[in-house]
Amino acid sequence: MANQSSPSPIYCVSFNQDNSGFAISWKDSFKIFDSATGRLCYERAAGAFVIVEMLYSSDLLAIVGAGEQASLSPRRLCLFKTTTGSPLRELNFLTSILAVRMNKKRLVVVLLEKTFVYDINTLVMLDTIDTVPNPKGLSAFSPCLEACYLAVPASVTKGSVLVYNVMDLQSHSEIDAHRSPLAAIALSSNGMYIATASEQGTLIRVHLVSEATKSFSFRRGTYPSTIYSLSFGPSTELPDILIATSSSGSIHAFSLRLALNQRSKRSTSFLGSVLPDSVSDALDPAHHHVLQNAVSSGIRSYAVIRKIDKLEGTSSPSQFKSLRATVSVITYNGYFQEYTLSINYKNESLWTLDREFNLFSITTR
C-alpha cells in the first residue's frame, strides 16, 4: 500500500445517495468527485466546512462551515448551487449542526438534542424531534421515498436506536440493539434493514425495520475496536453484503445472503434447534470476509459498496450466487481506494486493489 500521508486533515467525507459521487472537505476548500472515474467535478476554495452533503448528482449541496471564519458558522446551513456558485437559501440554528441528510422530498438537520425535518422544496419545517444528547450527530437515512426512515440514538447508556418515518412524520419503532452505546448506524437504501455497532465494536447487528426484529448478528472480532462506518450493498430486497471499517485498519464484509441461506439449511438441524439464529450467525466465521491492514491503524476511513455484479447459481434458485462487489474507501488522511471483493459459489473470497490515488493531488477537472 502507498505511504499514506497528506498535507492537511480531512474535515468531512460523504457519498451521495446512490454512491455515484462523493465530497471531501479540508481546511480551505471542498471538492466533489465522480466515484466511477475519480474525476474532479467541482471545487470551491472558500474556507473549511464540516458538512458537505450532495443530493444525488444534482447541483444542490447542503454545506455547513467549521466556524474558523466568521462567515462560516457551524450553526448555519447553506443550500448551495454549484452551477451558479452562490447560496440558494440559508437556515440558522441556536446550536451547532452535527449532521444533514436529504432526499428529493425531505431535508433533515441533526443538532445536539433536536432533529428538524423540512420539506426540501419549500423549506417549511414539518416536525421537530427531541432526542437524547447526540454529540457526534450519529444518524442514518434511507433516501427511498416508499420507506424513508431516519435513525438516531435513543439512549446514552445503551445501544438503542429510534427509527422515525420521515414521510409520515411519526415514530416507527425503538430497537434495543446493543448493551453499550451506539458508535455507528446504517440504513439500507431501500429502507428495509438497519445495521448497528456499539462502542465495543465486536458485534454488528442487522434488524428488519418493518418489524423491528433482529435478523442477523455478525462478529467483527474478539477485541474492542471503533467502527468508523457501516454500509449496505445496493439492493431492492435483502442486501447481499454489509461493509464495515474500523480503527484496526481492516475492512470487513459480511454476507447477509449467505447467512440467510445457511440459516434455512440449519433450521432442521439439532444445532439450529438449540441456538438462536442471532447467536449461531455470530459464531459462524463463514459470513465474514476481512481485508487486513487496508488502512493504517487508527486512521479513520469510510467505505461504501458502489455496485454488485452477481452470477446465478446453476443447480437451484436457492444456491449461493458468485458475486463481485466494488468497494470504495476514503481515508481521512486523503486517499481514495477502490477494491473488488470476489466471492465464489464456495464462499471463497478475494480482495483486489483496483486503484488508489491521493485526493489532494487532483487539482484539474
Distance CA 245, CA 83 (A): 34
pLDDT value of position 266: 53
* pLDDT, mean over the chain: 89
pLDDT value of position 105: 97
Domains in the chain: ranges and CATH: 8-97 (2.40.10.480), 98-224 (2.130.10.10)
Burial of 267 (0-12, 13-18, 19+ CB in 10 A): exposed
Which single residue is written with the C-alpha cell 439492493? 235
Distance CA 21, CA 18 (A): 8
Distance CA 93, CA 158 (A): 28
Distance CA 15, CA 38 (A): 13
By mean pLDDT, which of 7-11, 15-19, 66-70, 135-139 is the weakest?
Answer: 7-11
| pLDDT of 321 above 50 | yes
pLDDT value of position 345: 84
| pLDDT of 336 above 80 | yes
Amino acid at 107: L
pLDDT value of position 284: 57
Q: What is the tens place of the pLDDT at every residue in 247-305?
A: 999 999 999 877 777 665 555 444 444 444 444 444 456 689 999 999 999 999 999 99
pLDDT value of position 6: 41
User: Who wins on pLDDT, 113 or 70?
Assistant: 113
Distance CA 40, CA 22 (A): 10
Residues 45-63 have a mean pLDDT of 96
Residues 27-54 have a mean pLDDT of 95
Contact 89, 79 (CB under 8 A): yes
In this prediction, what percent of the chain has a pLDDT beyond 90? 77
pLDDT value of position 3: 36
Distances (CA, A) of 147 to 123, 192, 235, 317: 21, 7, 14, 27
The neighbouring-strand residues paired with 24 are 13, 31
pLDDT value of position 285: 64
- In three-state secondary structure terms, 138 is coil
| pLDDT of 313 above 70 | no
Burial of 351 (0-12, 13-18, 19+ CB in 10 A): middle
| pLDDT of 4 above 70 | no
Q: How many Å separate Cα 243 from the centre of its chain?
A: 9
User: Who wins on pLDDT, 321 or 161?
Assistant: 161
pLDDT value of position 271: 45
Distance CA 194, CA 212 (A): 9
| pLDDT of 90 above 70 | yes
Which single residue is written with the C-alpha cell 466511477? 36
